[in-house]
Structure 1
Amino acid sequence: MIHGAAVAWIWLAAAILSEVAATSALKLSDGLSRPVWVLASALGYTASFGCLALAFRHVPLSIAYAIWAGAGIALVTCISFVAFGERPSAQALAGIVLIVAGILVLRLSPGA
């Protein structure tokens, strides 16, 4: 059986992935004009918040939220480059590197 804290990290990963999928669907909704993508986005955000709430059972709010937001930013940037041809500037990439570094520091900190 998996320990509750380990399951919380799985919930956090699911929250991140569903938020990234929802944000990508929101882009595909073309300003909320394509109902299927609007629905996909709404379902993805609902799933993300539900998974995030479950992660909060064992992961501190400040840690979970920072990782959720930071990882989401980094992954959405990658997806926007690959799927939508959006090229981030050098400054944006530097910022994302700092975000990822911050996530690692938070995750590896005592009490995380």
Structure 2
Amino acid sequence: MQKAKMIAWAFLFIAIIAEVIGTSFLKLENIYFRYIMMSIFISLSYYFMGIAIKKIQVGIAYAVWELLGTILIILISLFVFKESLNTNQIIGIILALIGILLINIGEKKE
């Protein structure tokens, strides 16, 4: 993998982490603080996503962004906010993982 593409993937992962942090702020009690922090991190997420898609196919980048973001949010909801998942939700997450793997396997190589 060329260096520019590896850097693009790094920016994509930064975008994912920023989105997860921003989304996690929605559970806070202080409405002003949560919306300010959410706005900052979601904006950073889109900024880094914009950089990433210059070298990664937009469909692939978006699929990875959404799936990994969803998985990380689920983990935060389980371990930080002590929420739970039912069987159907767990099956849906597994199917989504399989889908993203298939999408990445089918990515055009440059």
TM-score with structure 1 length normalisation? 0.88
List structure 1 runs of 4+ shifted beyond 6 angstroms.
Answer: none
Tell me what 2:82 maps to: 85
Contact 2:12 2:48 in 1 (8 A): yes
Tell me what 1:101 maps to: 98
Tell me what 1:21 maps to: 21
RMSD (Å) for aligned C-alpha atoms: 1.5
Q: Secondary structure at the match of 2:80?
A: helix
Tell me what 2:3 maps to: 3
CA distance, structure 2, for counterparts of residue 101 and residue 17 of structure 1: 21
- Identity across matched positions, percent: 29
Contact 2:60 2:103 in 1 (8 A): yes
CA distance, structure 2, for counterparts of residue 35 and residue 9 of structure 1: 33
Following TM superposition, by how much is the alpha carbon of 1:110 offset from its aligned partner in structure 2, in angstroms? 3.8
Q: How many residues align?
A: 108
Contact 2:15 2:47 in 1 (8 A): yes
Structure 1 residues 2-33: Cα deviation after superposition (integer angstroms, max 9, x where no partner): 711111100110111110100001222x4xx5
CA distance, structure 1, for counterparts of residue 107 and residue 79 of structure 2: 35
Contact 1:74 1:100 in 2 (8 A): no
Contact 2:25 2:38 in 1 (8 A): yes
Q: 1:36 aligned to 11, 29, 33, which one?
A: 33
